[in-house]
Amino acid sequence: MAIVICNEVGGIGIGHAARVLRAGGDALDAVERGIWPVESDPRIHSVGRGGWPNLLGQVELDACIMEGAHLRSGAVGAVRGYLHPITLARRVMERTPHVLLVGEGAERLAAECGLERAENLTREGAAFWEHWRASAIPGDEARAWPPDALAPLAWRAADPVHTHGTTVFLARDGRGHMAAGVSTSGWALKYPGRLGDSPIVGAGCYVDDRYGAAACIGQGELTIRAGTARSVVLYLKLGLSLSDACREAVRDLEHLAADRLSFVMIHALDASGEHHALCWGDHESPRYWVCSGEQGPASLVNAGHVR
């Protein structure tokens, strides 16, 4: 059974992903195609163009793509000036011997591959950053911008609302191959160079055709520490049901010393095409999109919730 699922902000892309599957296309193409519109939409402030800027007012993007047949993956982190980090992640996988490129090296590959450039800091993003700087930094510090020590600002700037975001897509195509993709601008006002879980294979996403796929949104610092996406797939391998595998991965998160920012939502698809999502932490009515690769429109489904 061909199927694609994505988180709520991915809704604008799921139809594109489903069309790839309905035309007999690959899960990997479906995932990439589904993420493109999310990255392009400046109204989505946690992904791609229009994403939240970091402490220096720069938009740095992270993405990862992975296929489940042979567990090949590519990822990029802290990329500036390109529209589709998910495609750049795929180029890392297909055109280099590496898995993860960051910053200038990733941008160099994007230029080599002729990927589309973009000014990802929109007027709205710049206004958000200016407002934060004006309200958070006392006058003397603002005059000496940027201050020598940014780390204290990273603590002060972090707030629960703007740590959410990211788009995740999981797909299974008609041949039974699976793929996962994640793209994000990460936390608003993050320390420059900060990578979340999205570009970290096994944290932000993981897929193995034999068992299933998982991908996370929320506070990446937690899912990196717990290896959450990989854990879900491993729990499937050990014989747990899809919902039990997600619940066990949340138990692992509960074990971490966490803080007021704790929020993670796991999206999961098993090798038979069953889907599930489980939210941990504060969130009003967590939901995700599901679309069959055979027919019918996408539907928005309630996720499980553990507080």
**173 touches 180 (CB < 8 A):** no
| Whole-number Å distance between alpha carbons of 181 and 86 | 7
Nearest Cα residue to 242 out of 229, 233, 251: 233
Could you say which residues in the range 184-223 bind ligand GLY, by CB under 6 A?
Answer: 184, 186-187, 196-198, 217-220
Output 190 or 247, the one with its CB closest to ligand GLY. 190
Residue 62 or 209: the one with the smaller Cβ distance to ligand GLY is: 62
Of the two residues 25 and 220, which places its CB atom closer to ligand GLY in the complex? 220
Q: How far is the CB of 220 from ligand GLY (least distance, A)?
A: 2
Site map 220..259 versus ligand GLY, x via CB under 6 A: x---------------------------------------
Measured CA to CA, the distance from residue 158 to residue 125 in angstroms comes to 16
Residue 135's Cβ-count burial label (10 Å; 0-12, 13-18, 19+) is: exposed
CA-angle at 196, arms to 13 and 303, nearest 5°: 50
Q: Of the listed pieces 8-16, 108-116, 180-188, 283-291, which binds ligand GLY according to CB under 6 A?
A: 180-188
Residue 54 near ligand GLY by CB under 6 A:
no
Q: Is beta strand 263-270 parallel, antiparallel or unpaired with respect to 73-79?
A: unpaired
**Look-up of token digits 């990439």:** 32
- Pick 40 or 185: Cβ nearer ligand GLY: 185
* Number of chain residues interacting with ligand GLY (CB under 6 A): 11
Q: Which residues are catalytic?
A: 166
90 vs 85: CA distance, rounded Å:
9
**Residue 52 beta carbon to ligand GLY: minimum distance, rounded to whole angstroms:** 10
Binding positions for ligand GLY, rule: CB under 6 A: 166, 184, 186-187, 196-198, 217-220
